[in-house]
Amino acid sequence: MKKFLKEWGIYIALVIVVIFLRFFVFPFVNVDGHSMDPTLENKDRIVTYRFAELQRFDIVVATLEKKKIIKRLIGMPGDKVHYDNDQLYINDKKYGEPYLDEYKKLWKKDKLQKTFSYDSDFQYYAYTIDAFTVNSMKETKFTINVPKGKYLLLGDNRPVSKDGRVLGSFSASQIDGKAKFIFWPPRRFGMLKNGK
pLDDT tens digits for 137-175?
Answer: 999 999 999 999 999 999 999 999 999 999 999 999 999
Is 132 within 8 Å of 140 (Cβ atoms)?
A: no
Residue 9 belongs to domain spanning: 2-191
- DSSP assignment of 112-154 equals TTTTTTT-HHHHHHHHH-SSSS--TT--SEEEEEPPTTEEEEE
pLDDT at 54: 92
- Does the structure show a pLDDT above 70 at 15? no
Per-residue confidence band for 19, with pLDDT thresholds at 50, 70 and 90: low
**DSSP structural state of residue 22:** I
Q: What is the pLDDT of residues 90-124, one digit of tens each?
A: 999 999 999 999 999 999 999 999 999 999 999 99
Secondary structure class of 173 (helix, strand, coil): helix
Q: How far is CA 60 from CA 83, 106, 153, in A?
A: 21, 25, 8
Question: Structurally, how many domains does the chain consist of?
Answer: 1
Residues annotated as catalytic are 35, 71
pLDDT at 164: 96
- Does the structure show a pLDDT above 90 at 63? yes
Q: What residue type is assigned to position 83 of the chain?
A: Y
91 or 14, which is more confident: 91
- pTM for this one? 0.87
**Bridge pairing between strands 59-64 and 190-191:** unpaired
Per-residue confidence band for 1, with pLDDT thresholds at 50, 70 and 90: low
CATH of the domain at 132: 2.10.109.10
In a domain, 60, yes or no: yes
In a domain, 196, yes or no: no
Per-residue confidence band for 132, with pLDDT thresholds at 50, 70 and 90: very high
In a domain, 175, yes or no: yes
